[in-house]
Amino acid sequence: MSDSNKAIPAPMYVSETLLKKRKVNEKEAAIKARQRIELKKAKKKVRKTQFMRADEFIRNRRMIDKQGKRLRSISSGKRKGSNKKGDGKLLFVARIKTETRIHPQIRKALAKLRLLKMNAGVFAVCDDETVKDLQKIEPYVTYGVPNLKTVRDLIMKRGATMIEGVRTPLSDNTMIEEALGDCGVICLEDIVHEIVQHGDNFDTVSKFLIPFDLNDPVRGWRQKKLKEIVERENDEGNTEDDINKLVEAMN
Query: What are the backbone dihedrals phi and psi of residue 82, each rounded to the nearest 5 degrees, phi first?
Result: -70, -15
- Residues comprising the chain, all counted: 251
For 42, 54, 56, 65, the CA distances from 51, given in Å and listed in that order, are 16, 9, 10, 21
DSSP letters for 162-229: EETTEEEES--HHHHHHHHGGGT--SHHHHHHHHHHT-TTHHHHHHHSPPEEPPPPTT---PPPHHHH
Query: What are the backbone dihedrals phi and psi of residue 168, each rounded to the nearest 5 degrees, phi first?
Result: -125, 120
Q: pLDDT tens-digit profile of 139-169?
A: 889 899 999 999 999 999 999 999 888 889 9
Q: pLDDT tens-digit profile of 116-138?
A: 999 999 999 999 899 999 999 98
Confidence (pTM): 0.68
Number of Cβ within a 10 Å radius of residue 43: 10
Query: What are the backbone dihedrals phi and psi of residue 178, each rounded to the nearest 5 degrees, phi first?
Result: -65, -40
Q: Can you give the residue ranges of every domain in the chain? A: 86-250
pLDDT given for residue 202 in this prediction: 93
For residues 79 and 87, give the distance between their C-alpha atoms in angstroms, rounded to a whole number: 20
Instruction: Give the burial class of 58: count Cβ atoms within 10 A of its Cβ; 0-12 exposed, 13-18 middle, 19 or more buried.
Output: exposed
Q: pLDDT tens-digit profile of 187-212?
A: 999 999 999 998 889 999 999 999 99
For residues 40 and 24, give the distance between their C-alpha atoms in angstroms, rounded to a whole number: 24
Number of Cβ within a 10 Å radius of residue 129: 12
Whether 148 contacts 194, CB under 8 Å: no
